[in-house]
Structures are given as C-alpha cells and as structure tokens.
Amino acid sequence: MLEDENLNNTTVENETSAPEDEAALSSEGIKEEDLSAANTALKDQLLRTMAELENYRKRAEREREEMAKFAITGFARELLTVSDNLRRALESVPAEHEKPEELLKILVEGVEITEKELLTVFKRHGIEKIEPLGQPFDHHLHQAMFELEDSDQPAGTVVQLMQPGYSLNGRLLRPALVGVSK
C-alpha cells in the first residue's frame, strides 16, 4: 500500500510539474522568438546605418570634388578682364599702322602672344570661350544687349558679339553679350 501511495504521489507530482515545464518551455520559446526578432531588427538597422554611412561618404566625396573643381571661379572671372583688355588693345590698333612702324608691330605681336598664352592657360584650367555668332539665342549662355533687323538671319539668332562669354568646366562664368536679330 505504501508503494501505491508513493506511486500515486509521484504521478501527481509528474502531472503537476508537466504544466510548469510546458510553461517554462513556452516562455523560453517566446523569449527565443523575441530574441530572434530583435536580432533580425538589429541586423536590419545595422545594414541600413552602414548603407547610410556609405551614401554620406560618397556624397561628401562628390561635394569635395566639385569644390576643388570650381574653387578657382573667382580667379577665373578676374582673368577674363585681363583677356578682354588684351583683345581691346589689339582691336584699338588700326590695321594700316601695324605694318609701317616696327615698334607697333612688335607691340601687337606681343599682345597677340600674351592673349594666346592666356587662352591656353584658360583651356588647361577648364575655362572655355563662348562665341555664339550665328547660333540661336540661349538665355542660359547669352545676354541680349539689343535687337537688330537682319533679313539674312531668322529671328532670335545671335548676329553680333559685343563680349564673349566664358564657362568653367561647363558652368557659366559670364554670359556672352550679344545682339540678336528681330
């Protein structure tokens, strides 16, 4: 009889511990699922942060390159005035006086050589001249100073160039001052 009681007590204990074990297992299962979900969320957040950091690095590099590319903009604008003055000096010398006087001829040659060198330096640094004669007027590149009657050209065509424009690596430094046909 004693054995029967012990057996019954053991059975009752086993039955009582079984729900506790199931609760513990299900609690561990929930914890495992929660941990797995949290782990997945953290991995996702880490990947997004790494991608965001890489995008920031690339954007900063592009901005640095653009700053370096256009850092000489002010300098380039100042050189344009030098180029314009050299051109004006050449244009102010009448053609009939270039040949008779050797001094004047040397002066003109010197100014021409200086202008060629300056234009070479411009080109080396990405500064390009905009000479739009005969092209359609483009308000992004030209500044219309006046309109002319010109039956040979369609309306809106650049027919006279007062001052050339310049661009630096494709970005406008100064628009060309032009006369446009009506």
What kind and span of H or E run contains 175? none
- Residue 70 in 3-state DSSP? coil
Assess whether 74 and 115 both reside in one domain: yes
Tell me what the pLDDT averaged over the chain comes to: 82
Question: Quick one: how far is CA 82 from the chain centroid?
Answer: 29
Of 13, 45, 69, the one marking the end of a domain is 69
What kind and span of H or E run contains 153? none
Average pLDDT for 18-40: 71
Indicate which CATH number applies to the domain containing 154: 2.30.22.10
Q: Please give the residue range of the domain that contains residue 158.
A: 70-181
Assess whether 79 and 129 both reside in one domain: yes
Contact 145, 139 (CB under 8 A): no
Average pLDDT for 59-69: 91
Of 24, 44, 69, the one marking the end of a domain is 69
Got the DSSP string for 16-47? Answer: HHHHHHHHHHHHHHHHHHHHHHHHHHHHHHHH
The more confident residue out of 130 and 23 is 130
Residue entry with tokens 């050209």: 153
Q: Is it the case that residue 26 has pLDDT exceeding 70?
A: no
Of 24, 51, 69, the one marking the end of a domain is 69
Assess whether 81 and 150 both reside in one domain: yes
Assess whether 46 and 110 both reside in one domain: no
Name the percent of the chain lying above pLDDT 90: 42
pLDDT digits (tens, 9 = 90+) for 82-131: 888 888 777 777 666 555 677 677 778 888 888 888 888 888 888 999 98
Q: How many domains does the chain have?
A: 2
